[in-house]
Structure 1
Amino acid sequence: MATVYSAREGAATARSTPNGARGKAHRPEAWRLAGFAALSVPIYAAQMPLAVHLPAIYTQHFGLSLGVIGLLFLIERLWGAVSDPLIGALSDRTSSRFGRRRPWIAAGSVLFGLACLALFFPSRALVSPAYLGLGLFLLYLGWSMMQIPYLAWSGEISADYHGRTRVATYQQVAGSFALLMVLVLPTIIDQLRPGDSGLRLAAMGAAVLVSLVIALPLTLRAFPEQTPGEAPAGTTPVRRQPLGRTLSLIVREKLLRRVLLSDFAVTAGQGTRAGLIVFFATFYMGLPQWASGLYLLQFIFGVVAGPVWAQIGYRFGKHRAAIAGELAQVAINLGLLLVVPGGIALMVALTVAQGLTQSSGNLMLRSMVADIADEHRLRTGEDRAALFFSAFSVSMKAGTAFAVGVALPLVGWLGFSPHAAHNTPEALRGLLYVFALGPALAHLLSAWLIMGFPLDEARHAEVRRALAERAAATPFSTAAE
């Protein structure tokens, strides 16, 4: 008989699992977690082409300016700052026979897939700033509808402090595999059909769409959701209140603010590197054939790094593991200042090191959001998991938008142009400084923001015990009609 993971069972687990047991007495089967994590593949597979290849291809192949592309990405992310919390709040309030999360994931996947068709298989005659802007708007709306409930659901699978790290690790490994997949494709195409950016874009789009069709049913069937009448243990019905007051919860949660700002910095650093690496390899290093291969190498080691950082998190705690990884990335990015044109050996070494550290912040910060939602539920009695994960989604998207919307215009202002036959030495140095110092400063800020984070394993165990005691002392709550 298949194991059912319900809110009632979560309460029993919280009561019976001693502190430090790491949830081993009751852990979801690996095959279920792998199926659930499958949706991370199309989500991550789209992320890299959008951040790395799409801006460069739409600039070089379709003639859109760096400034226009940077502005469009920035506008879309600012829109996400409004739409994502709204989707999170509505997901928390949804009640259907399919659950709270499934309807949103399914509907968002359809919209996401249609937008991918438009962006990855464009007609040259149709491409314009308006076309790209509309495509990005629909893609990010569908992405939010799919990703935010998915992240919230991932925090509900396990109530254990380290169990959530395990869930996030499966998602991180699946995401790293997706990034590896979409990096292999353009690398192969660059060797077989050099300069065919249209084929490169179409191949990455096909990978996103095929993985979406395969992953969606696997994820939706991996775990049962709460029935319409259930709510998490120790939870009172979510009060219907004005949307503005609901969204203000994000601002008032001090711990959530720290994690969100830290994640914004992580993503801004990664986005700056991703958005400029094609230009850096092609124009600064003079090695265009390495443009895709370097990122491919990084994510080969990134696949290995996810489980390694999970073990570090088990041993030292989530926030300490995140800080260690972020400080390592500061040193790695500063090392880029020593790279010289044609100096591939040092660049390869730094790329491998980047891959080995890249999972630290993303993995730990995501897992910490679910712990913060538990602490909030203990204080208020209300389950705001999707709302909090929607804010986490905003920080990720805002960080990427900031990177593209600031880094691309900045290197242009410093004199760099991908259309120029020859860039001046000053322009190339400007490209180097933005590529190296931007991520270094961002990762340093991320580490500083979560130093001394108080919600560690011991404190979370106290929160879970208190929630379990409340659930045992009161009738099981029902969702608001």
Structure 2
Amino acid sequence: MAGFASLSVPVAAAQMPLAVHLPAIYAQHFGLSLGVIGAIFLAERLWGAIADPLIGVLSDRTSSRFGRRRPWIVGGAIIFGLASLALFFPSASLVSPLYLGAAMFAIYLGSAMIQIPYLAWSGQISGEYHERTRIVTFQTVAAAAALLLVLILPTIIDQLNPRDGQLKLAAMGAVVIGSLIITVPLALRAFTEAPAATPVNHERAPLGRTITILFSDPLLRRVLLSDFAVTIGQSTRAGLIVFFVTAYMGLPQWASGLYLFQFVFGVVAGPIWAQIGYRIGKHRAAIAGELTQVAINLALLLVVPGQIALLLALTVAQGLAQGSGNLMLRSMVADVADAHRLRTGADRTALFFSAFSLSSKAGMAVAVGIALPLVGWFGFNPQAVTNTPEALHGLLWVFALGPAIAHLISAALIHGFPLHEAQHSEIRRRLEERDAALTPAE
């Protein structure tokens, strides 16, 4: 399980620097405007809206002697690795909006080719309700450990030379590429792929109609919208934290350290929330985690510039609440795919996980595409030595209230979710009976 979960490391190790450090570094050190960066992020996420479901459908339909998921993961790893070289080791003479856009295009394509088949595979390792939470917990802990690892080096650099953005990028890039080389073989050898379920209807639906299923399944819609909202909250905080700590708090030496501190506690958050999910169910645990994050983000309005104590306490709390909604919602996707297969006879697990990936990427794009221009509209300038009080207060309000509102919406969307443990157990029993009846006798 640990070997399989290790593939979460390089993907997670790239995602957080892209959301947290890359916008600030490319703005401050390479001179790209916040508006241009926000537009590039939005465009690349919209590209993901096309690529993700295509990869999901094609992965479900892939048939090879290596399995349905492995060929996609290997191809994605190659693209992801090359794009990481371009993004994390840029030459100042080459950086331009076109350069950044092309590199982001490639890294999101490679990431999707790894992540969507990988998540679908993880949802098919076990069909048991709580065992799926355990599998996702391993992946969540691996991802949190990756984030911790990738933030250690920038934190050290901040203490020595907080303005050396290219050195920070190179340090994080080394972690991403090094972990990719190590973890891909470990994950591919961890488990055998279960054979594809025998379809009840052997006719293959057209690609376009298959993708529209993403928006017609009511259970999947609720999970996707809830994940979309929680990702907006997380990404708004991630995209602005460097600016908030540096400009509003006046503590540039803490810019990476606070995020590092958060993920120290984030490593243990996964098992804690898994235990909560075992006791009260997945959707109730997701609601509890989201409401906790609402309170934490509202409390940010009470922090005082230059004083670290309250911000440090809230960072610890954020770490302990970290990923609660993501963990439960990701575990719920495989359950929803089971319900869909029972109703329609078609196994669309990868397609459903592509939708989950799509909601996450869309949430990140919306957060960056709105939050950065919004703080700019308030007058905040990341390259200015000082900003006006009005600009700094605008930064505070967006940083605190944006995530709080998004997490509240996420909790409301998943409230009363009907697919609980007993219902899922019945779905699995009926699926196993039908699969046994459809399997030809030896």
- Name the TM-score class by shorter chain: over 0.9
Aligned residue for 2:121? 153
Q: What SS does the aligned partner of 1:115 have?
A: helix
Aligned residue for 2:63? 95
**1:124 corresponds to which of 92, 97, 103:** 92
Aligned residue for 1:15? none
**2:170 corresponds to which of 162, 186, 202:** 202
Is 1:215 the counterpart of 2:183? The answer is yes
Amino acid at match of 1:401: A
Aligned residue for 2:358? 394
Aligned residue for 2:196? 231
Amino acid at match of 2:116: I
**2:141 corresponds to which of 132, 151, 173:** 173
User: Could you tell me whether the CA contact under 8 Å between 2:282 and 2:329 is conserved in 1?
Assistant: yes
How far apart in 1 are the matches of 2:376 and 2:392? 10
How far apart in 1 are the matches of 2:246 and 2:439? 64
What are the within-5 Å matches in structure 2 for residues 250-329 of structure 1? 250-329=214-293
User: Could you tell me whether the CA contact under 8 Å between 2:294 and 2:407 is conserved in 1?
Assistant: yes
Is 1:69 the counterpart of 2:33? The answer is no
Is 1:372 the counterpart of 2:336? The answer is yes
Q: After the TM superposition, which parts of structure 1 deviate over 6 Å for at least 4 consecutive aligned residues?
A: none
Q: What SS does the aligned partner of 2:204 have?
A: coil
Is 1:357 the counterpart of 2:321? The answer is yes
Deviation at 1:237, TM superposition (A): 6.0
Is 1:385 the counterpart of 2:349? The answer is yes
How far apart in 1 are the matches of 2:38 and 2:128? 41
Aligned residue for 1:473? 437
Amino acid at match of 1:44: A
User: Could you tell me whether the CA contact under 8 Å between 2:140 and 2:270 is conserved in 1?
Assistant: yes
Query: Structure 2, unaligned stretches of length 5 or more?
Result: none
How far apart in 1 are the matches of 2:202 and 2:84? 35
Deviation at 1:210, TM superposition (A): 0.1
Aligned residue for 1:245? 209
Aligned residue for 1:421? 385
Q: 1:307 to 1:427 in 2, by over 3 A?
A: same
Amino acid at match of 1:198: Q
User: Could you tell me whether the CA contact under 8 Å between 2:56 and 2:350 is conserved in 1?
Assistant: yes
User: Could you tell me whether the CA contact under 8 Å between 1:284 and 1:341 is conserved in 2?
Assistant: yes
Deviation at 1:235, TM superposition (A): 3.8
Aligned residue for 1:412? 376
**1:78 corresponds to which of 46, 69, 84:** 46
Is 1:183 the counterpart of 2:151? The answer is yes
Deviation at 1:358, TM superposition (A): 1.2
Deviation at 1:475, TM superposition (A): 2.3
TM-score (normalizing by structure 1)? 0.90
* Identity fraction in percent: 73
Deviation at 1:465, TM superposition (A): 0.8
Query: Structure 1, unaligned stretches of length 5 or more?
Result: 1-32
Deviation at 1:343, TM superposition (A): 2.0
Amino acid at match of 1:150: Y
Deviation at 1:151, TM superposition (A): 0.5
CA-based RMSD of the aligned residues comes to: 1.1
Is 1:457 the counterpart of 2:425? The answer is no
How far apart in 2 are the matches of 1:236 and 1:47? 38
User: Could you tell me whether the CA contact under 8 Å between 2:341 and 2:348 is conserved in 1?
Assistant: yes
How far apart in 2 are the matches of 1:235 and 1:299? 43
Deviation at 1:194, TM superposition (A): 2.9
State the aligned residue count: 441
Per-residue CA deviations over 1:273-292 (Å, capped at 9, x if unaligned) read: 00000000000000000100
Is 1:108 the counterpart of 2:76? The answer is yes
Q: What SS does the aligned partner of 1:239 have?
A: coil
How far apart in 2 are the matches of 1:80 and 1:403? 15
How far apart in 1 are the matches of 2:203 and 2:324? 36
Amino acid at match of 2:39: L
Per-residue CA deviations over 1:397-418 (Å, capped at 9, x if unaligned) read: 0111111111000000011001
User: Could you tell me whether the CA contact under 8 Å between 2:162 and 2:252 is conserved in 1?
Assistant: no
Is 1:193 the counterpart of 2:161? The answer is yes
How far apart in 1 are the matches of 2:415 and 2:203? 34
How far apart in 1 are the matches of 2:131 and 2:162? 45
Deviation at 1:189, TM superposition (A): 1.1
